[in-house]
Each structure stands twice: as structure tokens, then as C-alpha cells.
Amino acid sequence: MTDADQAIQFNTASDAAEKIAAWARHLRVEKQVSPHTLDAYIRDITQFTRFLSVHLGRPASLRDLETLKPLDFRAFMAARRSTGVESRTMARQLSAIRTLYRWFDNQGILRNPAVAILRSPKLPHAIPKPLNPAAARQAMNLAASDVCGEAEPWIIARDTAVLLLLYGCGLRISEALNLNRHEAPVPPNEDVLRIVGKGNKIRLVPVLPAAASSVQTYMDMTPGLDPQGPLFIGKQGRRLNARNIQLLMQKLRSALCLPDTATPHALRHSFATHLLGGGADLRTIQELLGHASLSTTQVYTGVDREHLLSQYDKAHPRAG
């Protein structure tokens, strides 16, 4: 992409566009952020620079980015708010701007102290919404009984194996679908998965016998798997798309009358919540989930507290 193309993409002067493109390459190559994260960062910065071109009356240059005042950044946030953008999205966009300016500073390109005094909007306290144990078991059983009306047994086995890895191992859907054939939790491998999670952090996750057996059943029914290729494949032989599993959960929701929050990621929430309810400590759950910070894992204590209070309200004679 030429400097002119970059300037058009970001709606900035060519010097600023060149450095923003270099920052994006740094995120992709050196930081190895996920494609989804990279797209979100670029989208956020593009919205910011396009706002600046209107706000300043010209495409922003590096000098403009260096001399922006707190009022300029707040004007961007106010403009986003006026379009109905929620606080969580605004906080993410402000995080992208901070990340860009931190890189500028580390590279000796420019430094703008105004960024440091910006405050993110307050976010509502979001509590994960897991399935209860009975609903999780029903979902696994119904998937294995062909809720989608698939004619091919190997597809039923595949989908069941994926769901069991999400619920039984607490994997993100991307982590399950990024597994390759040689990484499958079947002999000669141990009953532990080596997962490369966010930020290229590696963690070891124990695999329940039921999940390992489900994966083995799927592999036995799919003999054409490339030993060096993806573990879970679609009908065309390529790596399975997450949309297939999302559609499966949509059908399970309908069949079991589950709420819209019953998504593939809710199975990961269910894994953590059910472990906590069973007596597992937060540090162990943090390691299994691959959370960088314990504070991220602590949100599950809110879920467990709600469950305890609801049980108290139902059972105690003086409750309510």
C-alpha cells in the first residue's frame, strides 16, 4: 500500500498514515494480536482520524496528533456518544488511542501528555451468564442426538466434540477450532491440551474423559483428516468456521427454550462457574481459562454469589 493509499484509508496526512500503518504491522507481526483485535484497533483509529479531519478542518499530521489537547479527545468521545455508541465501545476506542500513542512514545515519534489524563467512561458491572448444570448437560445430549437434522453422523460427532471442549475444558471457540490433528487429546498424546491463547500465552488444560472420548469418536468417523491439518473440518475439508457452532447453539437455544445468552462462549462461562461452585479456587480457574489477571476471573464470584442468594431465597423459611 502506497503512502497515498494509507493517507486515504486513515484520512490523515501521509506522515501520520505511514506511522499508523507501521503501528498496525507491529501489532500483527510483533505483538501477534488476533485478526479480530487488529481489525477492531484499526477500525477505532480510523474513526478517530476521520473525526479529526473534520474537527481540524484538514487531514491530521503527526504534528497535529502531537499537539491535540484534552478538549480535542473529549470532542471525539462526545461525537461518538452523540451517535448512540455505548460506554463499552467508547472505552475500547479510547484504549486503542492510548495504545497507538504509547507506541508513538516508545518509538520516539511523538509524545502527547494529554492522552494520559483522559478517563474512560464508567462501565456497567457485567456478570457472565452461564448455563446451569442441567441445561449444559441437556445441550450436550441434544447436540449428540442430531438437533440440527444432519444426515452425516461425522458432523454430529464433530459438533458434539467441539461443545464438550468448550464446556469441559473452558476453551474459547477460537482455541478449540484452531487445534490441529496432531494436537488432539487422544493417544499418543496425554489427557492434557496445550493451548495457545490470547497474547500467545501457553497453558495446559486437563481434558475430561468424556471430551477425549468424543474427540476420538469424531476422528474415527473422519478418516480423511490430514495429520498436519486442522482437527475440526467443514464439509469442504477446510478448518471449521465458528459460525457453524454458533448456529448449532442457536438451534439448541430454540429446542431447549434457553435465553439468547446461551452462546458458545457461555459454555466457557459455565465451565468456570461450575468449577467455582464445586469448590475450585480462583487461581486454578484463572490458570485453566488463561486469564492474564485474577481480577478478570473474579467476575465469576458474582455469578456464584447470585446462585447462592437465589438458593437461600428458595430454601430458607424466613427469606423474602
**Choice among 80, 172, 253, 274 that is catalytic:** 172
- For residue 293, the model assigns a pLDDT of 64
* Nearest C-alpha neighbor of 192 from the set 203, 182, 181: 203
181 is catalytic: no
Which residue among the candidates 198, 203, 239, 251 is catalytic per the annotation? 198
Catalytic residue among 80, 253, 269, 291: 291
pLDDT of residue 312: 47
* pLDDT at 314 (0 to 100): 55
Q: How far apart are CA 317 and CA 165, in angstroms?
A: 40
55 is catalytic: no
Q: Which amino acid is at 85?
A: V
Active site residue 265: yes
- Cβ contacts of residue 107 below 8 Å, gap of 6+? 19
Catalytic residue among 19, 268, 269, 274: 268
Catalytic option among 55, 251, 265, 307 = 265
Q: Are 112 and 101 in contact (CB under 8 A)?
A: yes
Contact criterion met (CB below 8 Å) for 172 and 164: no
Is 291 considered catalytic here? yes
Low-confidence residues of the chain, pLDDT below 70? 1-8, 123-128, 147-151, 281-282, 290-320
pLDDT value, residue 243: 92
pLDDT digit string, tens, across residues 293-307 = 655 566 555 545 555
**Active-site residue identified among 41, 167, 218, 300:** 300
Burial of residue 114 (number of CB atoms within 10 Å: 0-12, 13-18, 19+)? middle
Which pTM was predicted? 0.59
Q: Name the maximum alpha-carbon separation found in the chain.
A: 73
Q: Scanning the structure block, which residue is given the C-alpha cell 465451565?
A: 271
Instruction: For residue 269, indicate whether it is catalytic.
Output: no
Task: Give me the chain's average pLDDT, please.
Answer: 83
Task: Count the neighbouring beta carbons within 10 Å of the beta carbon of residue 161.
Answer: 27
Enumerate domains of the chain plus CATH numbers: 3-117 (1.10.150.130), 133-269 (1.10.443.10)
